[in-house]
Amino acid sequence: MPANGKNGALTWILGAFTIIAILNVFNAIIHLNLNGNAAVQFTIFGASLGGMNAEVYFWTSTITMLLIFTATCFSIYRGLPLDPQIMQRIAKVEESLATNSNMIENTQIGFFKKLEDTEKLNDEAFRKVYLNQEDTRKDVADGLAKQKSILQSMEKETEKNADNVKKQSTDLTKIKKTLEELENRNNGKSKLTGQTKLEGFKNVPSNLATKLGNIKVTNVSELLAADSTSIAEKTGELPENIAHLQAQAQLLMVPGIDEKEAELLVRFGVTSRRELANQDPVQLYRGLSGIAKTYIEQGKMSQSKIPTIEDVSQWIRQAHL
């Protein structure tokens, strides 16, 4: 084969390799932009040839392309006569090569700048995530501290309530014992019965007892059975005074209640055995204590005669019987 024919074939072969090398360079650039610096896998006919870092692949492809392109240009230069037009073409090719080299360099600079900006953004994002985690951890720690404080307060309150329950249990035991003593002491006896004569009812003045006797009202049963308004008209007394006497008579029939205590109950508004049975012991005790204090100030009652909560509870209990 002539020398020119050999040079022409070599030139075409080198040109083909140059195109393949250029395509590899663009392939490397695409990999870098899409996948970053990830490894590039190579296969041929389905068989894996291994992998290569994308950046190394880019520079290897670029250098290989430049070498093959240089060899191609040299082959063309050797195979062509030294014609001015050919020299101009070679100059243009060299200029194009320089331009491509600049483009590749600028692409590389832009790529690394993009990588640097991405790293900065990632660092900023990680920093924000870390700060958010710190704030969250602090909030959780504060919440746990508050819950611990609340639990400690609840524990103290529970202990306090337990002490109060224990104390109340002791007080109730004492009250129960006192009630039993009162019950045993009273032995189920009341101050009045239905057959008690009005002369034995200390709250009935003697002159009123005489007037009541004149209208055939001689004992407690007859007093309770009569109409207070009718008795008031016949005796000249006020209806409310007769109603008070009737109420006191009902209350004196409850074991444990004496005349002064019956008067206190009537003043409080309890006018029958049924009303007494429906009273709350604490509320009734408070009301009677207030009235008793007024009586003490007026000299109508002594301090020792003030009913106790045990007395009041016993009255209510007896009123149910």
With a CB cutoff of 8 Å and minimum separation 6, the contacts of 295 are: 264, 301
Within a domain: 165: no
pLDDT of residue 187: 47
pLDDT in tens, 30-61: 877 887 777 766 655 655 656 677 788 788 88
Which residue among 90, 109, 127 closes a domain?
127
Same domain, 120 and 195: no
pLDDT of residue 177: 62
Within a domain: 140: no
Same domain, 203 and 118: no
Whether the per-residue pLDDT at 306 is higher than 80: the answer is: yes
What is the dihedral angle through the alpha carbons of 219, 220, 222, 225, rounded to the nearest 10 degrees? 180
d(CA 167, CA 50): 86
Same domain, 111 and 235: no
Which residue among 61, 96, 127 closes a domain?
127
**Coil, helix or strand at residue 34:** helix
Same domain, 123 and 200: no
Q: Are 239 and 228 in contact (CB under 8 A)?
A: yes
Within a domain: 250: yes
Cross-strand partners of 44: 47
Within a domain: 252: yes
Closest residue by Cα to residue 223 from 187, 190, 250: 250
- Tally of domains in the chain: 2
Rounded average pLDDT over 228-242: 89
With a CB cutoff of 8 Å and minimum separation 6, the contacts of 78 are: 7
Local structure of residue 40 (DSSP, 8 states): E
Same domain, 123 and 189: no
d(CA 258, CA 251): 9
Within a domain: 276: yes
Q: Which of 52-56, 86-90, 215-219 has the lowest mean pLDDT?
A: 86-90
Within a domain: 269: yes
**DSSP result, 102-138:** HHHHHHHHHHHHHHHHHHHHHHHHHHHHHHHHHHHHH
pLDDT in tens, 158-201: 787 777 777 777 776 776 665 555 554 444 567 788 888 888 88
d(CA 260, CA 4): 151
Same domain, 107 and 40: yes
Specify the pTM.
0.40
Which residue among 111, 127, 143 closes a domain?
127
Supply 52's token pair.
């290569």
Among left, alpha and beta (phi > 0; psi -120 to 50; other), residue 256 is left
d(CA 276, CA 284): 9
27 is in which domain, residue-wise? 3-127
Supply 44's token pair.
């041929």
Within a domain: 176: no
Same domain, 198 and 120: no
Within a domain: 66: yes
